[in-house]
Amino acid sequence: MSDAAVPILMYHSVATVPNDATRGLSVAPEAFAGQMALVADLGLTPLTTAELAACWRSGRPLPDRPVLITFDDGYEGVHRYALPVLGRHGFPATLFVSTGWIRGAHDTGGGLDTMLDWAQVRELAAAGVEIGGHSHTHPQLDQLDDSALAAELTDSTKIIAAELGGVGPVSFAYPYGYSDRRVRRAVRTAGYDQALAVGNALARRRQGPYALRRVTVRRSTGAEEFARLLQGRAIARTFARDRALTQGYALVRRARQVRRKAIRSRV
């Protein structure tokens, strides 16, 4: 069990009528309910991100058939639709919030659809949902200079702690899944104990606490495909196109980084 493969499900919006910006990465409420029923029927044991990382860090055994249920960004449907379903099953989850997208005093107006407000975030936390960091304005962190990167992390951490009564986040998810060694080091320096990428693969202890992989759940994810994700079957084939696109875009991002560094060195 020390290097057991664990499916970490990455959700975004749960909505009946998502807008164009979020449609692809949304799921319908009835689909989410069916997916959680399958998690229960298969006898899986949901954990929070902090619980999984703590087991791997300490060497404690994981429960039988662990799975993580995670949500990125902070869409209102997580409270409206997902929370009642999680509550019926007694499932914990992790919500990674971009603090500048949450409605309220810190809102930058960047949210892609109807977002949670801080009262709803607090209700989710009180119901057993771990609240993690996801930056302040949801940029590609590996494209920021050191100062802007630090600000994105510290602003997010401070806002979450202030809104949750002093309880700061310990888990982080990289916006868009993008990170590099410098970003991972900054996340650790900001006080996070673990961080999730995407990768569309099962998570394993050997990936390290700051590069744990997740699998994407979309509106197009059917029941059979979802069952395969939970069982760790045919994942490489399911996400072959995603991986090819990710590798291509990684080359573009690295070229941009090199170009920016060259420009800064000439200034």
**Alpha-carbon span 171 to 69, nearest angstrom:** 13
Burial category of 75 from C-beta neighbours within 10 Å (exposed 0-12, middle 13-18, buried 19 and up) = buried
Would you list the domain boundaries of the chain?
8-232
Of 3.20.20.370, 3.40.50.720, 1.10.490.10, 3.30.70.270, the CATH number of 8-232 is 3.20.20.370
Tokens of 217: 């759940």
CA angle, 17 then 18 then 23, to 5°:
130
**Alpha-carbon span 29 to 21, nearest angstrom:** 18
The residues, ordered by sequence, that sit 6+ positions from 83 with a Cβ below 8 Å of its Cβ are 123, 124, 127, 129
Query: Per residue of the chain (267 residues), what is the pLDDT tens digit?
Result: 457 899 999 999 999 999 999 999 999 999 999 999 999 999 999 999 999 999 999 999 999 999 999 999 999 999 999 999 999 999 999 999 999 999 999 999 999 999 999 999 999 999 999 999 999 999 999 999 999 999 999 999 999 999 999 999 999 999 999 999 999 999 999 999 999 999 999 999 999 999 999 999 999 999 999 999 999 887 877 776 665 445 444 444 455 555 655 555 565
Longest dimension (CA), the chain: 61
The residues, ordered by sequence, that sit 6+ positions from 82 with a Cβ below 8 Å of its Cβ are 11, 14, 29, 32, 71, 93
